[in-house]
Amino acid sequence: MFEFWNSLPEELKLECIKWMDLKTRVRLGGTCHKERLLVPRAEKLIVFSLHIDAVSFANGALRFSLDSSNGDDLWPEFKNEDQIQKAGKPLLSFIFQNSVVHELSNLGTDDRNREMLVGLKSSKPFDIRKIAGQAPFNFFQKCAPNCFRIVDFHNLCDSSPLSIEELMELPSFQAAKLWRLQFKECHDFGACVAKKWIQLDVDVKSTMEFRYVGEDRTINDFVKEMGAIDIVERTDILVRFKTRNQKKHMTMRRMHWVNETYLFTLAVIPADLEEKNYESYIDL
C-alpha cells in the first residue's frame, strides 16, 4: 500500500490513517508538509489509558505508558530534560491532539509531574474523558468543552494550589458527573463546589475532602457559606441537606484527623440513604 501512497486520493489516505497505530501516525506526521496536515484530519485514535509514571522522575527521567484501540502498548522513556523537551512533550502534544483519551493518569505529587503537562501544543482542544491525579491549570484550559466525565483530582501536596472556583467554571468540566476532589484547604469551606455540584446534578458518591488546622472551623461555617439550604439533619459534626434533584442529598462532615487537623468531607448521597449507611458513601 505504501508503495503507491502518493497516488492515493486524500479520502483513501484518511481511511488508511484511521487504522494506523500511534507509531505509524507519528512517523507519517513527520514526513512532508502535506501529510503532516493530513494526519490531524483523520478519525481520532482511541487511547484507553495514558499514565505518566511518577517513579521515573526520581532520576530526572520521564516514562509514560499508553494503551490504545489500534494495538499500541507503549512505554517510551525520556532520560533527561533535553529529551523531554525535544521528544517527550511533542509526543504528548501529538497524542492529545489526535486522540480521544479515555483516562489520563498523572498521580505523582512532584512538581515535575505537573511540569510535563505545561507548554504542550494545542492547535486542537484535548479530548479527555477522565482525569486522575493532577495537572496544571493551563492544561485544563486546553481541554475541549464538556469533555470530562470523571474527575479524580488531588492537590494535597501542591505548593501552589489551584483556585477551586476557577477550576469549577472551566468549560471542560461542565459535563463531569462523578467527582473525587482533595485539596489542602478551602477558604469557603467547599461551598462553591457544593453549589456547582447542585447545578450540574453530579452523581451519587461524588466526594470532596479538605483539611483545616485548629478547632475553630466548624460545620456552622459551611452552612453560613452555603446560604439558604433545606437542611434535613444537623449535628455538631454533620449537616445533611437537599439538592434540586429529589433523589439526591448532600452531606458535609467534620472529623478529627490527626493532631490539631480536622478533615471536612462533602459527599453526594441518595435521598433515601439511612444514617447507619453514611460511611459507605462518605469514606470512599
- What is the model's pLDDT at position 200? 95
- Residues 144 and 157 grouped into a single domain: yes
- Residues 34 and 57 grouped into a single domain: no
- What is the model's pLDDT at position 106? 77
- Residues 50 and 19 grouped into a single domain: no
CATH of the domain at 268: 3.30.310
**Looking at the chain, how many residues does it have?**
284
Dump pLDDT digits (tens) for 167-198.
889 999 999 999 998 887 777 888 999 999 99
For 13, the domain range is 1-43
- Residues 274 and 246 grouped into a single domain: yes
Q: Three cell numbers at 199?
A: 447545578
Q: What is the pTM of this model?
A: 0.79
Dump pLDDT digits (tens) for 51-85.
876 554 455 566 677 676 655 566 667 777 777 77
- Residues 10 and 97 grouped into a single domain: no
- What is the model's pLDDT at position 214? 72
- What is the model's pLDDT at position 216? 76
For residue 34, CA distances in Å to 10, 41, 43, 92, 246 come to: 10, 12, 17, 22, 55
- Residues 212 and 263 grouped into a single domain: yes
* 150-154 and 178-182 strand pairing: parallel
User: Last residue of some domain: 43, 58, 77?
Assistant: 43
A 10 A CB-CB count for 280 gives 11
List the chain residues with pLDDT less than 70: 1-2, 14, 17-23, 26-33, 36, 38-43, 53-63, 66, 68-76, 107-114, 155-162, 215, 281-284
- Residues 102 and 126 grouped into a single domain: yes
User: Last residue of some domain: 176, 198, 223?
Assistant: 176
- Residues 227 and 167 grouped into a single domain: no
Q: Three cell numbers at 227?
A: 446560604
- Residues 153 and 53 grouped into a single domain: yes
Decide if 46 contacts 100 (C-beta within 8 A). Answer: yes
Decide if 157 contacts 176 (C-beta within 8 A). Answer: no
